[in-house]
Amino acid sequence: MSKLTYIDLFAGAGGLSEGFKKSDFEPLAHVEIMEAAAFTLKTRAAYHHLKENNLSSKYESYLKDYISREELYSDIPQEILNSVINEPIGKETNDKIFKKIDHILSGSKEVDLIIGGPPCQAYSVAGRARSATKMQGDPRNYLYVQYAEYLERYQPKMFVFENVLGLKSAGGGIYLKNMEKLFKKKGYSIHLFHVNARQFGVLQNRRRIVIIGWKNDFIPNLPDLDNYDSGLKSNVESIFSDLPFLNSGGGRNKFDRYASSSNHYLKESHIRNGIDIITQHVSRPNTTQDLTIYRIAVDKWNSNQERLKYSDLPSSLQSHKNLSSFGDRFKVVAEDLEYSQTVVAHIAKDGHYYIHPDINQNRSLTVREAARLQSFADDFYFEGSSNRGQRTAAFTQIGNAVPTLMAENIAKQIKNIF
């Protein structure tokens, strides 16, 4: 039996795609605007190709920094690398993207599924709060229109659309209403689910909307995602327990070793999945003032499980006059809880909201620790680009991603429908 196929739109680093790939779906194409994320998708495609052909040692050589990215790609079939389309989705570029996808399909492959969701900034409550115009008129509000163009052209039996809860309230709900009308016009019915990544074994409080759509002539037996429970649980300590000790500004981008053996959560989540190599366990450097604040925040939590309020800091440590807006600016990722705060792309700008719980390490989270909170496997490597720092690009991709464990559990339910 041939594998079920999918196209990933607004693919990012491929968190959603990774879950479907792990559930034995076949990716036909990934479309992504960010250059660094497109390289990440190519590197992951290289990993899967090499693994499936018993050539994992070459990928391990890349993680050990023995070979370059160009050398890694050199033995990968060009059609696999070309399946990652580094283009913005929109009226001006859709024909170009369609041409590339049509070439991949070559008239012989059908698309069973389209996955992905437009960037969430236009719909998120935080994004609207930061925008002077409340995101009114922002073209990202209407990217669902482009999504519908791909549904019309490739006629998948189903689609999976992930986004933030703010989609329901953005524009007073008009975007969601218009989205439903447009999808119906294209021949698709939809059902909206409210989910939390915690339900799927992710050690993170991450509430999202998942829309499942289906062609009107295809009647699915929908899963109850609202009440889904994978049963996989642990404390956040599991994320940190086996990683090397680091101080602020420390770490290695490639070829580090684990400090201790694995644990139940890391094994069951497949975060540690056989390759005995750590990459991107790298901490950003922090100022003396930030490190002083971090120690106060960690001490408050470890002593009394009390969160630091910005207004409680000595005036000498306060850099902002607006004490109310910055009240929750510094936050420890508490290792004794079952979930962390939501990992978002702002982690690329500073790590104040993601302070490591070990007062002796006294730093913000590394790229690898953030990736683990998003349930990415340790062999998942986040690429940089020609015009953006490696660490910043990686943090951005991780914060914007769909957690892979959540994606994998959803993919299994979709596979059951087929």
DSSP code of 245? P
Partner residues linked to 31 by β-bridges? 9, 85
Return the H-helix or E-strand segment holding 196.
strand 188-196
Specify whether the CB–CB gap between 63 and 102 falls below 8 A. no
Which of the residues 50, 113, 120, 210 is marked catalytic?
Answer: 120
How far apart, in whole angstroms, are the C-alpha atoms of residue 15 and residue 8?
A: 10
Residue 410 in tokens:
């959803």
Q: What contacts 24+ positions apart, CB below 8 Å, involve 224-227?
A: 225/193, 225/195, 225/410, 225/413, 226/193, 226/194, 226/195
Residue 159 in tokens:
């689609």
Residue 368 in tokens:
């690898």
DSSP code of 403? P
Cα distance from N-terminal residue to C-terminal residue, the chain: 12
Instruction: Give whole-number Cα distances, 34 to 14, 228, 286, 397, in Å.
Output: 12, 32, 27, 9
How far apart, in whole angstroms, are the C-alpha atoms of residue 375 and residue 239?
A: 9
Type of residue numbered 141: N
Type of residue numbered 8: D
User: Per-residue b/e over 61-88, b at no fewer than 16 CB within 10 Å?
Assistant: ebbeeebeeeebbeebeeeeeebbbbee
Partner residues linked to 414 by β-bridges? none
Return the H-helix or E-strand segment holding 114.
strand 113-115
Establish whether 257 is a catalytic residue: no
Instruction: Give whole-number Cα distances, 400 to 119, 164, 228, 321, 333, in Å.
Output: 8, 11, 23, 30, 18
Task: Provide the residue count of the chain.
Answer: 418
Q: How many C-beta atoms lie closer than 10 Å to residue 31's C-beta?
A: 25
Catalytic residue positions? 120
